[in-house]
Amino acid sequence: MSNLSNSGNFFEVTAYIYLLLYKGPVDQDVFQRNLVVKNPKQQDILHESGRYFQNTKYRRFKGDVLGYCTPVSNYIVTVIYWNGNGFEISNIFHGKFTMVSPVWLTFPFGNTSTYQLSTHSVQTKWIKEMKANNNVNHVVKLIPRVLFEHWSIDDIIRIHSSTQSQTQLTVSLLDAAK
């Protein structure tokens, strides 16, 4: 970079910066770009991190692929780096996944006789988009995860040992699925 910055050629420097910062589809996959190696270099990871092969439907792997989508809270973003674009990424790479599991449903700790399920994070627009991308040859299953918010291991054990609690929990989940 020092040679480029000293050269004074604006277009050369701009092109170099563009190559460093470019994110998005490229015309070669990771194998063609020689990125699948035993000892990857830090600069290669940083340089290539936002790039992906333009054919997002092509799958090299024939097994199941599970993707996780987690809604981002402002607290999480300020504390750690978090990919807040999981729903967008799952649409872009729909062809790569066989299952996507969003965290939408939460059972806040509290009244265990009714198990009030919080569904405020459910993104119906995204569900419609994902289903619209399905076809005869490729279907992505949506498998929501349930978060037991602020529950202790003892709270979970109580559910496990009570048939009535298990029934109430099941009823709440089935009601949410409607």
pLDDT in tens, 65-85: 998 887 655 444 444 444 567
Helices (H), the chain: 2-7, 10-21, 42-48, 74-79, 86-92, 124-133, 153-160, 163-177
**Whether residue 152 is found in the same domain as residue 162:** yes
pLDDT at 146 over 90: no
Helices (H) and strands (E) in the chain, counts: 8, 6
Distance in angstroms (rounded) separating the CA atoms of residues 9 and 7: 5
Identify whether residues 42 and 105 lie together within a single domain. Answer: no
Amino acid letter for position 142: L
Tell me whether residue 77 is in a domain. Answer: yes
Name the more confident of 139 and 107: 139
Q: Is 126 inside any structural domain?
A: yes
Least trusted range by pLDDT, from 15-24, 34-43, 144-153:
15-24
Which domain range does residue 79 map to?
A: 57-177
Residues 27 and 104 in one domain: no
pTM (two decimals): 0.69
In a domain, 31, yes or no: yes
2 has a pLDDT exceeding 70: no
| 166 belongs to a structural domain | yes
Together in a domain, 67 and 128: yes
Domains contained in the chain, number: 2
115: pLDDT strictly greater than 90: no
